Structure 1
Amino acid sequence: MLKRIILLLIWTNSLSAQQLPYHPDEEEMTGRYKHARLLDSISRNTVFKSTVRANWSVDGRSFWYANTLKDSVKEYILVDAASGKKRPAFDHAKLAAALEQDPLRLNITRMDIGTKTAMLEAKGKYWEVDLKTYQLIKKDSFPQRVYPDRVFRRSRWQSFSTRGESPDKKWHAFVKEGNVFIRNNETKDTIQYTTNGTKEKPYAELAWSPDSKYVVGYLTNPALDTLVYYVLTSVSGTKRGQLRSQNYKQPGDPFTTYEMHLFPVDQLKSIRVNTEILDFFEAPVLHWRKDDPRYFSYEKVDRGHQRFRIIEVDAQSGTTRTLLDEKAKTFIYESRIFTEYIPATSEIIWSSEKDGWRHLYLVDGLTGNIKNAITQGEWVVRNIDSVDEKKREIWFRASGMHAGEDPYFIHYYRIGFDGKNLVQMTPEKGQHLITLSNDKKYYLDTYSQVNIPPVTELRLTSNGKKIAEIERADATEFFKTGIPPVESFVAKGRDGVTDIWGIICRPSTFDPTKKYPIIENIYAGPHDAFVPKTFMGTFGEMQSMAELGFIVVQIDGMGTANRSKAFHDVCWKNIADAGFPDRILWMKALGTKYPYADTSRVGLYGTSAGGQNALAALLFHPEFYKAAVSSCGCHDNRVDKQWWNEQWMGYPVGKHYDEQSNITNVDKLQGKLLLIVGEADTNVPPESTYRVADALIKCNKGFEFLPIPGMGHSDGGPYGRLRKRNFFVRHLLGVETPLVIK
């Protein structure tokens, strides 16, 4: 394989303009379809030892895992955590004989291994095994394991309320006929606190203070979401189309509003809190001070995503003050705001991109002042795994800290609240995933790159020291199929400075003396980045397309997430941009380095936001893109879901929504277009695509249209993917192929 790559590089450097565009005949094209099907078949289950799923012992001193090898042979391995030494978890032959199973293909679902016995589940039955004699004792169930350290975080905006009963059990708060009542559980006396609530505009979401002195509630003005409809045309056993509907909030639609009130049990009155009516999301989680439960704070994101606040309320008077107030000229990425409240020290850990990169800060919870930056630098905190209040330590993931690496590679770290004692837990180059032992004393680190199979190492949590390499994935059989390794490729973006990263898939029958059309797999949704970073040891959709005679690429352009704030800001009120200037420059750089990549024949395909992007390429960049397959596209950001589109396109809905709509711009269409839509799409309303078709017809534009009965949000399924292949073969390679290749 290495020799082949070296030859490719030599050939590429020696080739020039004499290369001819690749145009296969029908017979050769038919052979390519058959070869792609063959590779799909023979490449399955050809990568071994790529995943170590550790099953830790109760005492945390060891763990076992299973490998599935060639021909479905299974092995079970036991690892001593302190030394990293491995051995068979048991005598496979003896246990297989006892279980009456094939010793090469033992099927064990669960297992707890001790020094003398093991509990296991096999084929739905439970057994205790004597590891010396291999005698079996049948059991009724498998022992339950308790994991006390596991913490499940609730959404910041999940509707919050408590039970009606107060923490001290003396009171019960409830809403009756839209109004708030509090009953004394001892005397049974009930006090009505409000009279202005109605069935249409009731009080709701009552929540007690921890000292049982106050109830917080809201006078609400409910907003009913309007319906979107779709018709199932081909339901078995029916003669008519079946109408379906669902609640669906679109940009500009109203939210239920919440007017905050306090109900002190010792004052027998309602106090309207001196704060703005909440008109975005639902009732917030309340954070009461531990040292003085007279005060609580809550979080507020303004509609339009340009302001985030933490507001403190004095429950005795209803007065408020703003502890933290962040404003942005573009957007604040609401779903990636992280806050952790530390009641014992009245502190808040808060994430922000205020310095141009997503970082963590320690905030004084009493004053709102930033005590110190916890993380800083030109890199991005990607996720927070845990916060240890006693050790004052944060475990987090980040990317971009390692110079010379792909800036999207995720690494794991931990750091003190004071921003000191940063510990690097995953030093090796690559995309990482760690799993901790139950007591967090050890962890397994699995890392890989798109062209390098995974390696799993056992490390010590206290200092990150490597104990042993547990497994190194074996992809020998995969590469024997002839599928070339995926290549990571980087080129400069529109500013001439920023690196744009992507990947390249080539056909296994690749001939560097020919020029192959380029097809881009596009998804430019601003909510994340999408180019794979882990080992691509499967025959996926991109490689399947490449086998037909294409160079298939995927790119993360500006406007996507996980880089700097400036990189991400390109999408603000500008989703139609989709990073196209960066993508086009990237492919031109690809064509310069590899002349066999034909930048005069470029197509693209995508689904959902990618479907929107695919059509937009032909509308706004027809000088470069020549053919597109657009599946289930959200072609007009006013038709699609509210929460996603207002985050990037802003609120209120303005003329920029109309200016960037694919529907509005269909008169600009050049090139070849195939639209695919599932009639039962509950993610993006099907009319988004139908309105494109209607507008194209009214403009007398030629296009292909494939509606699929009964299908939901999809790229078209097997039939749609076949139509996509044939479409690109016809329009980029110039070959008419049968719909089905036998």
Structure 2
Amino acid sequence: MKAQPRPLGFLRSLSWSTPILALGMALTIAFCAVPDSLAGQHADAVMPAHHPDVGTDNSVFGANFQLAGRWAPYKARELVHSTSVSPRWIGGTDRFWYQWEDSDGRFFRIVDPARGTKREIFDRDRIAAELTRIMRDPFDAKHLPITSFSFIDDNTIQFTLTGTQDVEVEEEEEEEVEEEQEQEEEQSRPPRPRTEKEKFHFEYDVQTQTLRRLEDYEEPRSHPGWASVSPDSSMVVYTKQCNLYMMGWDAYLEIVEARHKKTGEKADSAEMKIEVEETQLTEDGERDYCYGSSGAGRGRTVDQWDEQWKKRQSAGVIWSHDSHYFAMTRRDMREVKDLWVVHVAGNERPKLETYKYAMAGDSAVDQTELLVYDTEAREMRKIEDEGWQDQSMGIWSDPTPYGDRYAARSGEDNEPRVRRWWSPNTELYFYRASRDLHRIDIMRADPATGEVEVLVEERLNTYQEQQQPRRMANGDFVWWSERDGWAHLYLYDADGNLKARLTEGPWHVDGVLDIDETRGLVFFRANNREEGEDPYYFHTYRVGLDGSGLTLLNPGDHNHMSSMSESARYFVDNYSRVNTVPASTLFDANGRRVLDLEEADFSALEAAGYQYPEPYMVKAADGITDIHGVMYKPFDFDPAKKYPIVAYVYPGPQTESVAKSWSGSPYEVGLAQMGFIVITIGNRGGHPDRSKWYHNYSYGNLRDYGLADKKAGIEQLADRHSFIDVNRVGIYGHSGGGFMSTAAMLVYPDFFKAAVSSSGNHDNSVYNRWWSETHHGVKEETDDEGNVTFEYDIDKNQEVAGNLKGNLLLTTGDVDNNVHHAGTFRVAEALIRANKRFDFFVFPGQRHGYGNMGNYWFWLRAEYFAQHLLADDRKAVDIMELNNEQEKSGGR
């Protein structure tokens, strides 16, 4: 017999004060029907109850909280060590080092590709003994305290470790005390020496494996993040109180010296105490119309704004190679409307955070200006670009050199990072894009005259993606475009003339990895080209600059993620599938396997009973398009049982959130152990890494476009597998997935029986303009007088709230400044007005991702599905799995 609703006055069932252990308080508003059984006394023992939706006897079983507790995300992570090699390229060489961890501890290894060798950097037993002798703290080979280090030349590294003993340190000058009484009290107190844990500085010779302590170590001076240093190191540009300032190198070094050996607020305080000569370059900067990024629409409380206003900030400038000019974009957000969140937790009084937030269809949106400053003439020039209303612009800069550059030796200063613009001459290259992204142009400007010209035009009737082109020494550049319905590469000269099409066909180029100009080769990552593979699996390819000689460099039916050396002669390839052990291999640029580097150690994982998930393919609702997904079964899986199926969804269009490499997928794995078949599944319109048709299937239908494919895929899986109960279907997701999971309950209310929807953008008219207008579309209208307006219209979840039949839990963070909780509240209001019962949960003090309440969130979601798909209601106030974990971890 179905449980009868109890009166809403039954406050215990509404859980107004459910504790979140050490994580704070959460407000729960339950609009669901409350069974009589919930009014009983709390107990941990749970008896599975019969539910009308539960079919035959083999589908009647309770949730396995014990198994789920063993495989909760925070537990499963403890069983996994390193799964990929992240090469740290040394200097300008092809050598690299990396850190690797397995059940035998942490290792540091160095690889010489030219020799095909890999060896340990440290003799672990030897260095453990040396460190124990010097630091007088015990270490062994499996538990070395070293976590990172820096190469200071080809063969020497330095690192710093912290001991357990306190030592006295030199007192820093304190702030001046203004009040005479305070001064007298300070003088009367006996001096108290300041102490900190002793630091040990070491230098290690990689060849001889000898370690020595640096007794007279002097920490290299570092550069503050606000400093935009010119290439000739004569000028430093920054913003202060929203205006541009400049100082000379000598003045800047005074600040570097003042900040030396300090961090955070102490470094900032020391910097602000000294007076240096600086030149104010602009006077018209103001909040929300700043030079640089110091105040452009950022969310801050009043005291946060006041504090930041006093400090120097990064101007984000990009320099010409000869230091004659620097360029920047300036955003005018003064007319953009404000949005707010209130910080109710963690403060004596609630604090208001205000930020600029343009919503879809707004007439007042941020305006971008492109500025160039002539350092010799001391003149700022605005690049007048008569493009499109509300257009966006961006400057292209030289790629930042990657790899582990040699660090400074003891007593030396680190080199400042310098951002140079794309062209080595004075020409400035940038892009402009229309508000609807139907039009994107590559542009070139003369900073001396301000003249601009269009080099390459891209046009499409839906939105377009763009990547920064890769420039070569002769001025030619490789451009990525989707102009024929697939993402491919094109070679242009410096004036925008097409020289060659480099790739073509029904497959997708993800991006350029590197260019070997000497050999005339482009290296790139691509997918959907190899027959018989998942179309999302990446591989590394090369092609000639004339479009000839296309070559696959790392074959194998896995997803391959590669990192190339700066010389483009070698690359490290990390590869796996969701159902294979990750491995890493070193290849050369011809595709020759040089060295097998590592294979992940899954011994602890497998010993604990881990089972790999299963990739699958179904057809979309059109019966034609292939849709890919992954299935996660409980580790005590019984094929004779009938399991509810729960889909974790994200609609895209940026990604479908379907794993391709092994990543552990701890949330899906943990939930499956409760007694569910958990799946991830794609949908047309969900991912950019297929055809443009597939990617843009969602255009103009952002609420409903993926739902039919999800439903069709689940039905096919149920037909294929007798252990799936298609009458008990759950769905959950976060952000766009929160939007989609609620929409599923409202558009297909007879199919989806329970949903947990977190922080969803349920009403995209109150979500951020860029995402909503880009992926749904905005209509540009021009009247007879040439005035341009933009119209935006989209289906919203609250419009179909009256269709709800199943069980829906909505959650949000109360200070989410990404997907504002207004969308969630609007759905709640519509459900109330439609006289629907549902559940609503607020995470206090949390942004979009729920931060340190993630573990609580995992169990809240798991228990909700257990209640509504397994008829397994927990009655205890405490979440015992979290209590037990906190006891084991000492209350953390």
TM-score by length of 1: 0.79
Separation in 2 of the partners of 1:270 and 1:473? 55
**Alignment partner of 1:732 is 2:864:** no
2:732/2:755 contact within 8 Å kept: yes
**Alignment partner of 1:325 is 2:457:** yes
2:321/2:424 contact within 8 Å kept: no
SS at match of 1:514: coil
Separation in 2 of the partners of 1:271 and 1:103? 61
SS at match of 1:576: coil
Q: Which structure 2 residues correspond to residues 2-81 of structure 1 after superposition, within 5 A?
A: 20=56, 22-24=58-60, 28-29=62-63, 32-40=64-72, 43-48=76-81, 50-55=83-88, 60=93, 63-70=96-103, 73-81=105-113
SS at match of 2:703: helix
Match of 1:224 among 297, 315, 335: 335
Provide closer, same or farther for how the CA distance between residues 141 and 647 of structure 1 changes in structure 2, counting only shifts above 3 A. Answer: farther
SS at match of 1:545: helix
Provide closer, same or farther for how the CA distance between residues 708 and 372 of structure 1 changes in structure 2, counting only shifts above 3 A. Answer: same
**Alignment partner of 1:699 is 2:732:** no
Aligned position for 2:491? 362
Q: How many residues align?
A: 667
Separation in 2 of the partners of 1:696 and 1:557? 27
Separation in 1 of the partners of 2:713 and 2:425? 57
Separation in 1 of the partners of 2:639 and 2:512? 45
Match of 1:303 among 432, 435, 438: 435
SS at match of 1:577: coil
**Alignment partner of 1:669 is 2:804:** yes
Aligned position for 1:344? 474
Amino acid of the residue matched to residue 487 of structure 2? R
Separation in 2 of the partners of 1:741 and 1:216? 55
Q: Which structure 2 residues correspond to residues 430-469 of structure 1 after superposition, within 5 A?
A: 430-437=558-565, 439-461=567-589, 463-469=590-596
Match of 2:360 among 251, 263, 276: 251
Aligned position for 1:531? 658
Bigger drift between 229-238 and 72-81 goes to: 72-81
**Alignment partner of 1:710 is 2:840:** no
Separation in 1 of the partners of 2:778 and 2:519? 42
TM-aligned CA deviation for residue 55 of structure 1: 4.9
Deviations for 1:117-138, whole angstroms, at most 9, x for unmatched residues?
7655444533235776956343
2:59/2:641 contact within 8 Å kept: no
Bigger drift between 511-520 and 428-437 goes to: 428-437
Separation in 1 of the partners of 2:120 and 2:870? 54
Match of 2:765 among 628, 638, 655: 638
Separation in 2 of the partners of 1:459 and 1:90? 25
Amino acid of the residue matched to residue 474 of structure 2? A
Bigger drift between 321-330 and 40-49 goes to: 40-49
Provide closer, same or farther for how the CA distance between residues 292 and 339 of structure 1 changes in structure 2, counting only shifts above 3 A. Answer: closer
Aligned position for 1:647? 774
TM-aligned CA deviation for residue 33 of structure 1: 0.7
Bigger drift between 74-83 and 510-519 goes to: 74-83
SS at match of 1:36: helix
Deviations for 1:135-192, whole angstroms, at most 9, x for unmatched residues?
634355599999xxxxx9xxxxxx9x99999xxxxxx9966669xxxxxxxxxxxxxx
Deviations for 1:189-241, whole angstroms, at most 9, x for unmatched residues?
xxxxxxxxxxxxxxx99999999999999999764321112223344534xx4
Stretches of structure 2 that go unaligned for 5 or more consecutive residues are 1-53, 133-138, 163-198, 223-227, 229-238, 248-278, 286-314, 399-420, 782-789, 881-892
Amino acid of the residue matched to residue 512 of structure 2? I
Separation in 1 of the partners of 2:682 and 2:770? 22
2:761/2:819 contact within 8 Å kept: yes
**Alignment partner of 1:426 is 2:558:** no
Provide closer, same or farther for how the CA distance between residues 173 and 499 of structure 1 changes in structure 2, counting only shifts above 3 A. Answer: same
Match of 1:542 among 668, 690, 704: 668
**Alignment partner of 1:592 is 2:723:** no
Separation in 2 of the partners of 1:219 and 1:728? 48
Provide closer, same or farther for how the CA distance between residues 21 and 650 of structure 1 changes in structure 2, counting only shifts above 3 A. Answer: farther
1:260/1:275 contact within 8 Å kept: no
2:95/2:110 contact within 8 Å kept: yes
Aligned position for 1:104? 142
1:475/1:537 contact within 8 Å kept: no
1:675/1:705 contact within 8 Å kept: yes
Bigger drift between 242-251 and 205-214 goes to: 205-214
TM-aligned CA deviation for residue 688 of structure 1: 1.3
2:333/2:356 contact within 8 Å kept: no
TM-aligned CA deviation for residue 378 of structure 1: 1.1
Amino acid of the residue matched to residue 803 of structure 2? K
TM-aligned CA deviation for residue 410 of structure 1: 1.5
TM-aligned CA deviation for residue 500 of structure 1: 0.6
Separation in 2 of the partners of 1:661 and 1:139? 66
Separation in 2 of the partners of 1:437 and 1:236? 49
SS at match of 1:707: strand
2:778/2:791 contact within 8 Å kept: no
Provide closer, same or farther for how the CA distance between residues 36 and 653 of structure 1 changes in structure 2, counting only shifts above 3 A. Answer: farther
TM-aligned CA deviation for residue 351 of structure 1: 1.7
Provide closer, same or farther for how the CA distance between residues 143 and 532 of structure 1 changes in structure 2, counting only shifts above 3 A. Answer: farther
Deviations for 1:268-288, whole angstroms, at most 9, x for unmatched residues?
999995833652225756999
**Alignment partner of 1:128 is 2:237:** no
TM-aligned CA deviation for residue 363 of structure 1: 2.7
**Alignment partner of 1:475 is 2:599:** no
Separation in 2 of the partners of 1:469 and 1:214? 48
2:423/2:429 contact within 8 Å kept: no
TM-aligned CA deviation for residue 612 of structure 1: 0.5
Bigger drift between 477-486 and 111-120 goes to: 111-120
Provide closer, same or farther for how the CA distance between residues 545 and 365 of structure 1 changes in structure 2, counting only shifts above 3 A. Answer: same
**Alignment partner of 1:373 is 2:405:** no
RMSD: 4.3
Provide closer, same or farther for how the CA distance between residues 21 and 623 of structure 1 changes in structure 2, counting only shifts above 3 A. Answer: farther
SS at match of 2:860: helix
Amino acid of the residue matched to residue 677 of structure 1? T
Bigger drift between 671-680 and 97-106 goes to: 97-106
**Sequence identity, in percent?**
31
Amino acid of the residue matched to residue 68 of structure 1? E
Separation in 1 of the partners of 2:204 and 2:473? 48
Provide closer, same or farther for how the CA distance between residues 297 and 163 of structure 1 changes in structure 2, counting only shifts above 3 A. Answer: farther
TM-aligned CA deviation for residue 518 of structure 1: 0.7
Aligned position for 1:181? none
Separation in 1 of the partners of 2:93 and 2:383? 53
Deviations for 1:362-398, whole angstroms, at most 9, x for unmatched residues?
23443x4432211111111112233455554333211
TM-aligned CA deviation for residue 533 of structure 1: 1.2
TM-aligned CA deviation for residue 360 of structure 1: 1.2
Separation in 1 of the partners of 2:386 and 2:596? 57
Separation in 1 of the partners of 2:369 and 2:586? 53
Amino acid of the residue matched to residue 806 of structure 2? G
Separation in 2 of the partners of 1:133 and 1:400? 47
Separation in 1 of the partners of 2:603 and 2:545? 45
**Alignment partner of 1:353 is 2:429:** no
TM-aligned CA deviation for residue 493 of structure 1: 1.4
Deviations for 1:246-302, whole angstroms, at most 9, x for unmatched residues?
221211232344688999999x99999583365222575699998997x86643211
Stretches of structure 1 that go unaligned for 5 or more consecutive residues are 1-17, 147-151, 153-158, 166-171, 179-203
Separation in 1 of the partners of 2:798 and 2:674? 32
SS at match of 1:570: helix
SS at match of 2:831: helix
Aligned position for 1:685? 820
Provide closer, same or farther for how the CA distance between residues 206 and 614 of structure 1 changes in structure 2, counting only shifts above 3 A. Answer: closer
